[in-house]
């Protein structure tokens, strides 16, 4: 098996009125995947075969529903890791505080035996 990281996207999401870590995380993942049009995976005919690593950074990691984050991705075998980070802006006070989450989404696929190769520069042909 020759698994290669083919995509890395970053995203940011906010919950502006509820301090909901999962809501902010879901918005960060949505932001990340909306930056990509992944036509490459159509050539493989098996997008569910890709492995996707999601890393979420939020102020309170234990409050993120990892299953909900994984369910937000359309394809692949999803692995979700949540770490401390992001931002919790307490400037507004109470329920008006803003929570920001950052997401990194990486997609890997076994490229062995397919009709193109990846060279060291990252270009494909």
- DSSP per residue over 24-87, as a string? HHHHHHHHHHTT---HHHHHHS-GGG-EEEEEEEES-GGG--HHHHHHTSSSSEEEEEEEE-SE
Task: Judge whether 64 lies within some domain.
Answer: yes
Position 93 confidence tier, pLDDT thresholds 50, 70, 90? low
Task: Judge whether 125 lies within some domain.
Answer: no
Rounded mean pLDDT, 75-104:
86
* Structural domain count of the chain: 1
Could you list the residue range(s) of the whole structural domain that residue 94 is in? 3-36+43-110
Rounded mean pLDDT, 59-87:
94
Task: Judge whether 106 lies within some domain.
Answer: yes
Task: Judge whether 76 lies within some domain.
Answer: yes
CATH for 31: 3.30.1330.20
Rounded mean pLDDT, 48-59:
90
Task: Judge whether 124 lies within some domain.
Answer: no
């Amino acid at each position: 098996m020759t698994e290669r990281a083919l995509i890395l996207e970053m995203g940011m999401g906010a919950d502006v009125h509820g301090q909901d870590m999962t809501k902010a995380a879901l918005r960060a993942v949505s932001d990340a995947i909306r930056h990509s049009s992944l036509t490459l995976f159509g050539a493989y005919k098996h997008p569910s075969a890709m492995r996707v690593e999601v890393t979420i950074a939020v102020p309170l990691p234990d409050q993120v529903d990892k299953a909900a984050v994984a369910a937000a991705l359309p394809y692949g075998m999803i692995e979700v890791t949540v770490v401390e980070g992001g931002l919790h802006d307490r400037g507004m006070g109470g329920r008006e505080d803003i929570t920001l989450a950052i997401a990194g989404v990486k997609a890997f696929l076994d490229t062995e035996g397919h009709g193109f190769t990846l060279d060291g520069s990252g270009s494909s042909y």
